[in-house]
Every structure is written in structure tokens, then in C-alpha cells.
Structure 1
């Protein structure tokens, strides 16, 4: 494994089952995963500028710093990704109690269940969980790690 620094704008290459590659970009306080897979490793990362966003999440630093996913390039961060979307927090002891979490400022504010619909849960994801989520998305099956969110909102998530 190659030691790496977390560098804003860097492109990460995520190999999935030795079958294809998916790409993500390091943002300020998060990571964006693009809805793009390739059987071949890419070198022209500008192609990612036109791709839709699969999801924006936080991941454990060691995935990058220990080289579990390699930095393979760098590009400017899209304007719409300079400010990350709100996330939600659900109280484990009071499941009907919700809060907004602003990953840009670290601020927390009260919210209703209706207000958080469509938001990503505030969580830090591990390598295997992210890879499962990507794999499940491209296989068209519900991700086990999003079961609680599907039940909470009675919907599916990428």
C-alpha cells in the first residue's frame, strides 16, 4: 500500500471486484462519487465533469492515507460541489428526533422527518461499505447499508 496525503481536488480510483473502476473526488469535508464506471482505467478525468453524482459522503481518512484507494489525478472541483449538501442525524435513543447537519460548518439544527427526506445520513463510511454501495447500485439491488434509510423514508437510495 502506498502512503498518500488527502489533497483537495484529487481523483480517487476505486476498483470493484477486478471488473471495473469507479471514480471519486476529494472535496472539502467530503467525497463525491461519480455515476461512471469503466472497464479500463481512465487518464482523462475531465470526463467526470459531465457525469451525474452518485452520492456525497464522508469516508475514513485511512482509506486514502494508507493507499487503499489510489489518487490517480487531480482536477478542479465543480462549482456546485464547493458547498456540500446538508445531511441528517437521527437520534438513536429517540428515533423520531432528527437534526440537520451542515458538513461545511459543522453546525447542527433541529429538523423534522419531512424536512430531511432525500438527505444523506451523516455518517463516516468504511471502504468495504462504500464498495458494497457502488456494487449494489450498478447491480440494481438495494444496498444493505442503506436499509435503515429505506425503511425510514420508504424509498431507495443510490
Structure 2
């Protein structure tokens, strides 16, 4: 009988994300259940990004990271605790059309203008992150435009 023990996720873990075309995307674990997706796309699993240049940072379900479908290839510790936090995200109340920002676990009222350029707060499934890496932006509509 094989063990199905799930691995503990650590801040700074870098995950290899298999892409449909055989290449690999990469993501680094941040605080607040977030993952930073690197701009760099590797030709093979060890062809890892050399710098911390991200194309986007979003929330991700823990089961995606714990499942093993995206293996951890290394850990890149953050130089300080502040660096480990994802940037602020925008929350839009669909009923009242009011805006807020979410940052470090706290909500703060905001204006539409303050939300321009921020990621919309959401938790993403694996396939939606892969679609976005591959250039399919249908899961990332920008209601601020």
C-alpha cells in the first residue's frame, strides 16, 4: 500500500507547472495562499527562471499545490517577511459596485481609481492558471476597463 501523505507547502517553494505544449511554467509560493507565476517559460523541468520576474500573482487552492501535479523543484527563501506578501488585490462588490483592496489579510474601502492595475482577488484552479500562462486570458476579465 502506497502512502498518499501530502507534502507541507513552504513559503518560497518553486513549483514546475507542466504546460500543454510540453514546456514548463513556474510559480513561487507567497503568503496569503498566493502564487507568483514567473514570466519565464522553460523548455524542460530543470530549465528554471534565473530571476524573480513575475507575470502575475494570484490566489491558488492549496490542493493544487499539495496534489503533486506541480512538483516543487526548489525553495527560494524571501529576504524578509514583507517581501513574502503578495501585492494588494481589488475586490468589487457586485451588488453595490463598491471597491475595496485586500492586502495582508485586511480589507480596506477603495475607489475604482485605486483598483486600476490591481489583480482582482480570487482563488484560482490549476487549469485556469495554466490557461493564463498559455495566453488565454478568459479567466482574467478586467472589470475596471
Corresponding residue of 2:144: 153
Report the aligned-residue RMSD.
2.1
Asked whether 1:122 is paired with 2:121, we answer yes
CA distance in 2, matches of 1:40, 1:78: 28
Q: Runs ≥4 in structure 1, deviation > 6 angstroms?
A: none
Structure whose residues are more often helix by fraction: 1
Relative to structure 1, the CA distance from residue 120 to residue 21 in structure 2 (aligned partners, 3 Å threshold; closer, same or farther) is: same
- TM-score using structure 1 length: 0.79
Secondary structure, counterpart of 1:64 in structure 2: helix
Question: 1:16 aligned to 2:12?
Answer: no
Q: Secondary structure of 1:145's partner? A: coil
TM-score by length of 2: 0.86
Write the distance in 2 (CA, Å) between the matches of 1:2 and 1:23: 23
Instruction: Write out aligned runs for 1:20-59 (5 A).
Output: 20-29=23-32, 30-42=34-46, 45=48, 47-49=49-51, 51-59=52-60
For 2:7, what is the secondary structure of its paired residue?
coil
- What is the CA–CA distance in structure 2 between the aligned matches of 1:78 and 1:40, rounded to whole Å? 28
Aligned residues: 140
